[in-house]
Amino acid sequence: MILDVGEKVHIIERRYFVGDISRHLVGEIIKSSNNAIRVKGYVWVLDVRKGFIRKPEARERVLYPGDRSTINIIPKEVDLDEVKYVISPEGVIVTDGKKFRLDINEFGSKR
């Protein structure tokens, strides 16, 4: 597996259907094998009225990366507790409010 223990990641789980919940995970890899990763972090879900909401408790999840997920690497210096989602005219941005900024294009406004 190309992902290493200690790396921080932002994972987008692709939906099967239009009505499925948009779910993201922001966390740190605590174990990695050839076909799976174990990540500890926070789940974010999309509420159509409120935007992305972080579930309050940290979770450990085992994921099998494939065509249903997109994994973005987060710089090691980012404090995962400070990560937030911001809605802007360009779309949705994941940021720590400092140097880290990740545009989530799938939710961008139409130009």
Distance CA 53, CA 69 (A): 19
- Domain assignment present for 2: no
Please give the average per-residue pLDDT across 42-65, as a whole number.
Answer: 90
Between CA 108 and CA 104, with CA 56 as vertex, the angle to 5 degrees is: 15
Number of domains in the chain: 1
In the prediction, which pLDDT does 6 show? 96
Please report whether residue 56 resides in a domain.
yes
Sheet architecture: strand order including 84-88? 84-88, 91-95, 101-104
Mean per-residue pLDDT over the chain, rounded:
87
- 111 pLDDT tier (thresholds 50, 70, 90): very low
Q: Where does the pLDDT of residue 88 fall: very low under 50, low under 70, confident under 90, or very high at 90 and above?
A: confident
pTM of this structure: 0.85
Distance, CA of 106 to CA of 56 (rounded, Å) = 25
Position 51 in a domain = yes
In which domain, by residue range, is 46 found?
8-107
Inside any domain, residue 43? yes
Per the domain annotation, does 3 fall within a domain?
Answer: no
Domain assignment present for residue 1? The answer is no
Residue 4 CA to residue 100 CA, distance in Å, equals 20
Residue 42 lies in a domain: yes
Mind listing the pLDDT tens digit for each residue in 92-104?
Answer: 899 999 999 999 8
